[in-house]
A and B are shown apart, each in its own frame.
Chain A
Amino acid sequence: MPALLEIRGLSAGLQGRRSITQVVSSVDLDVQRGEILGVVGESGCGKSTLATAIMRLLVPPQVLQSGSMTLRLKDGNTYELLELPETDLRQLRWRHLSYIPQGSMNSLNPVLRIERQMTDTLIQHGLSREEALKRSIAALEMVNLEPRLLDSYPHELSGGMRQRVIIAAAVSMRPALIVADELTTALDVVTQRQLLQELAGIRDELGATILIITHDMGVVAQIADRVAVMYAGKIAELGTVNDIFESPLHPYSQGLIGAIPRAGGHRVEGLPGEAPSPWNYPAGCRFHTRCPHVIDRCRAQTPALLPQGDGRWAACHLYEPEVLSNA
């Protein structure tokens, strides 16, 4: 079965005075129908830029450089997201492709009541006022919010409630793909957990596909089916949650997993060094400056994201056949 969203060679960057600084470098990623795919990485690794690029919400100085994104819907329609004109894109948004933004706390318009903010979109997508209201109430119930909340203004709601309203709005059209950027940042762990459970419930109920972007390995472990580990604008490793948490391949993933505190008194190992900023990505493998297993070819050659069997992928020279055979 073809992937719901097929991202190929996606590059995006920041337009400077003379040149573009690349933030996301030729990312290849397939988002499978019905899965929850987590994209994890440190701050500044380009994961939010990736999410915004998928939504085509990049604003200058952010620019899209190259690549393609194909959305294949169940009804057989296929959309080349990067080639769609703005008007078609508007039709697609919310109906098939919705977005839970980073900074959800401030994502509601402070001067409009929740009802207006939920229904205006639905009405513009062709629903009647009554139908829009019914859908909004149903969506609020999915995230355990009272329909009476529709009469409130955003400042009357707590942070967790606002976040739920955003989620409800995002699922109200029953979209095929939901991109959630840092969904739980700035929320306490209890609320985080409830939200993640609600989101998983929505996936089961609507059969939606969710791409969740986060820096929090705990979030990924709780909710995701598969994980893409991003480092310095590239995907370092891709695999199921179990594979990545139990036996990470890429030295960066190994470092990330080693840095998670666990029960049982294991020593937490830090990841030495700092992630490079887009203005000075190192040549070759971008992780080689911090990698404990660095070899000569890491400094010269960029490793490709290659299949490692069992649906796992890693971008690391250590797993290339000729390196393995030399060892």
Chain B
Amino acid sequence: MTANSDASAGDSAAEGQAAGRREVFQYAVRRFGVYLFTLWAAITVAFFVFRLVPGDPMNILLGNLTRAEGRQRDAAAEEAIIAHYREIFGMDDPLPLQYINYLRKAILGGLDLGPSFVEYPAQTKDLVFRRMPWTIGIFTTSVLLAWIVGTGLGALIGWLQRSRLSQLAVVISTLLQITPVYLVALGLIIYVGYIWRILPAGGPYARHLQPEWTWEFISSLLTHAILPMLSNMIVIGAGFTLGMRALMISVLGEDYLTFARAKGLSPFTVLKDYAFRNALIPQVTALAIIVGATLNGTFIIEILFQLPGLGTLFVQAMGLRDFNTMQAVVLFSIFAVLTLTLIVDLALPLLDPRIRRTA
């Protein structure tokens, strides 16, 4: 709604609100369409790329079998084994047909993503579901915590931009932000885990325990999760802090901030309703962008901390050229990232009244 004259503005206010709700709905529908399309594109790219990786999973599998059995088989037996596996994995069909079969099973067969090589005959779907909670748990929790802490801290040091403490915080955040996540993780493992022995720094939980609903197991799980999450949080959180600080400083120069001070509002109201509320909008967008970029950092962290998540699964699958498992990992990571991005995107119009119309 753009009001052309003073008189028409009031009349169209109610209409405007109804139109506003309709537009919010359309925005949500459109966003969901983009979400489905991206998911499909990701599956397709993953399908073809992983099949083009050099190295035949059959040869690697046979090599492993030979080493395990400690003797050579005759050629005919090997041929039979290969033929058997190729049939199970549908590798004799032409590539386009394989692709269509893959999509058909995935969509109509209740997420049937085929068997895995890594733990044959286990289904990749089951493998991924078993590993996913580790990745999602560490990834989502650490990114969200990093965002909350970073946004709060950044808002504060942006608000107090001229104080010594603020300037020190900027230097520290910059240093942390440019440090690669594996260095932070290694530093924590070496110092906190092995030299000072404050927290466990390897494995998902203490070796002698079994997964069960006991306090002992849960506390072990949580203490083992601290360092991996901290590694991720330090690096991502420092980035969020710097971003929010810059946003606050630019908002502080806006005319509406001068006006808010001129109105005699308390500094807390000016900070909360005028500065923070406005700086928050691009910061939420930043969360959506960062979410995708930081998932690979979580994979590295899983490997360093020996956690049975999707990252370690992916590395195993890569070694065997297990395209089914690699595809499934990619599919589920993208699903997780897109879902978080979608939630963030749908939250934006709630924060910014201007998006409700222009999106």
Q: Which residues of A contact B72 (CB under 8 A)?
A: none
Q: Which of A278-305 contact B (CB under 8 A)?
A: none
Q: Which residues of A contact B4 (CB under 8 A)?
A: 158
Interface centre among A108, A153, A161 (most CB of B within 10 A): A153
Given A111-B277, A148-B13: A153 and B263 interface contact (C-beta under 8 Å): no
Q: Which residues of B contact A125 (CB under 8 A)?
A: 264
Q: Which residues of B contact A242 (CB under 8 A)?
A: none
CA distance A82 to B170 in the complex (A): 33
Q: Which residues of B contact A109 (CB under 8 A)?
A: 256, 260, 273-274, 277-278
A59: nearest chain-B partner, CB-CB: B258
Stretch from A95-103, A246-254, A316-324 forming part of the interface with B: A95-103
What mask results when residues 1 to 25 of chain B are scored 1 for a CB within 8 Å of chain A, else 0?
A: 1111111011101001100000000
Contact at B10–A149, with CB atoms within 8 Å?
yes
B162: nearest chain-A partner, CB-CB: A60
Contact at B255–A121, with CB atoms within 8 Å?
no
Of the residues B255, B258, B264, B354, contact of A153 by C-beta under 8 Å: B354
A172: nearest chain-B partner, CB-CB: B263
Number of A residues with CB within 8 Å of any CB on chain B: 48
Q: Which of A152-173 contact B (CB under 8 A)?
A: 152-153, 155-158, 160-161, 164, 166, 169
Q: Which of B264-282 contact A (CB under 8 A)?
A: 264-266, 269, 273-274, 277-278, 281
**B259: Cβ under 8 A from any A Cβ:** yes
Nearest chain A CB to B56's CB is how many angstroms away? 58
Contact at B354–A95, with CB atoms within 8 Å?
no
Q: Which of B3-51 contact A (CB under 8 A)?
A: 3-7, 9-11, 13, 16-17
CA distance A141 to B121 in the complex (A): 78
Q: Which residues of A contact B354 (CB under 8 A)?
A: 110, 153, 155
Given A149-B10, A156-B1, A157-B3: A108 and B256 interface contact (C-beta under 8 Å): yes
Contact at B10–A148, with CB atoms within 8 Å?
yes
Contact at A106–B254, with CB atoms within 8 Å?
yes
What mask results when residues 313 to 354 of chain B are scored 1 for a CB within 8 Å of chain A, else 0?
A: 000000000000000000000000000000000000001111
Given A111-B352, A111-B353: A106 and B255 interface contact (C-beta under 8 Å): yes
**A222: Cβ under 8 A from any B Cβ:** no
Q: Which residues of A contact B256 (CB under 8 A)?
A: 106-110
Contact at A93–B262, with CB atoms within 8 Å?
yes
Number of B residues with CB within 8 Å of any CB on chain A: 36
Contact at A156–B6, with CB atoms within 8 Å?
no
**A91: Cβ under 8 A from any B Cβ:** yes
Q: Which residues of B contact A91 (CB under 8 A)?
A: 264
**A129: Cβ under 8 A from any B Cβ:** no
Contact at B273–A120, with CB atoms within 8 Å?
yes
**B197: Cβ under 8 A from any A Cβ:** no
Q: Which residues of A contact B260 (CB under 8 A)?
A: 109
Q: Which residues of A contact B17 (CB under 8 A)?
A: 151
Contact at A98–B6, with CB atoms within 8 Å?
no
Q: Which residues of A contact B104 (CB under 8 A)?
A: none
Of the residues B3, B7, B16, B265, contact of A120 by C-beta under 8 Å: B265
Contact at A149–B9, with CB atoms within 8 Å?
yes
**A134: Cβ under 8 A from any B Cβ:** no
CA distance A110 to B255 in the complex (A): 11
**A187: Cβ under 8 A from any B Cβ:** no
Interface centre among A98, A101, A102, A109 (most CB of B within 10 A): A109
**A146: Cβ under 8 A from any B Cβ:** yes
Q: Which residues of A contact B265 (CB under 8 A)?
A: 90, 120-121, 124
Q: Which residues of A contact B10 (CB under 8 A)?
A: 146-149
**B86: Cβ under 8 A from any A Cβ:** no
Given A101-B255, A109-B274: A90 and B353 interface contact (C-beta under 8 Å): no
Q: Which residues of A contact B351 (CB under 8 A)?
A: 111
CA distance A110 to B273 in the complex (A): 11
CA distance A109 to B351 in the complex (A): 13
Contact at A124–B266, with CB atoms within 8 Å?
yes
**B261: Cβ under 8 A from any A Cβ:** yes
CA distance A99 to B265 in the complex (A): 13
Q: Could you name 5 residue pairs across A and B whose Cβ atoms are closer than 8 Å?
A: A102-B255, A111-B278, A120-B263, A155-B353, A158-B3
User: With contacts A99-B262, A160-B6 known, what are 6 further pairs, Cβ within 8 A?
Assistant: A107-B259, A110-B278, A112-B277, A121-B263, A124-B264, A156-B9
A interface residues (Cβ-Cβ under 8 A, vs B): 55, 57, 59-60, 89-95, 98-99, 101-112, 116, 120-121, 124-125, 144-149, 151-153, 155-158, 160-161, 164, 166, 169
